[in-house]
């Protein structure tokens, strides 16, 4: 059994406060994933996820195979992993047609 806490927040938090709460939640979830992976009894499904914000304001979980997640979290802080995965998700959501390198004004 996993012990933990339940935190309930009021509706209508200021945007800045909601962003702080969301960032801290993401950091805690990433840390929990690492702790769970380190516990052989808890590792039955080998997958991790990072929650990213989409352009329409919704959030999605990006599933990462455990070996990929482990490599990322061994080399980067949770905030950096979140930034990397968010950048990839945004690139998929807003693809660039044609070459990536272009002259200014094209």
Partner residues linked to 52 by β-bridges: 60
Rounded to whole angstroms, how far apart are CA atoms 100 and 94?
Answer: 13
The domain segmentation of the chain, as residue ranges, is 15-93
Q: Mean pLDDT, to the nearest integer, of 65-91?
A: 89
What's the pLDDT tens digit per position in 22-33?
A: 888 888 888 877
What's the pLDDT tens digit per position in 21-64?
A: 888 888 888 887 777 767 666 555 567 888 888 888 888 889 88
- Where helices occur in 1-106 by DSSP H, the ranges are 15-38, 66-75, 78-93
Q: Mean pLDDT, to the nearest integer, of 3-13?
A: 80
């Amino acid at each position: 059994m996993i012990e933990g806490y339940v935190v309930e927040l009021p509706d209508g938090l200021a945007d800045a406060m909601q962003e702080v709460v969301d960032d801290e939640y993401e950091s805690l979830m990433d840390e929990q994933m690492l702790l769970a992976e380190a516990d052989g009894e808890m590792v039955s499904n080998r997958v991790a996820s990072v929650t990213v914000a989409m352009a329409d304001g919704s959030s999605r979980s990006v599933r990462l195979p455990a070996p990929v997640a482990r490599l990322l979290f061994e080399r980067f802080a949770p905030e950096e992993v979140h930034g990397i995965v968010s950048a990839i998700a945004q690139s998929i959501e807003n693809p660039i047609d044609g070459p990536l390198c272009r002259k200014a004004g094209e």
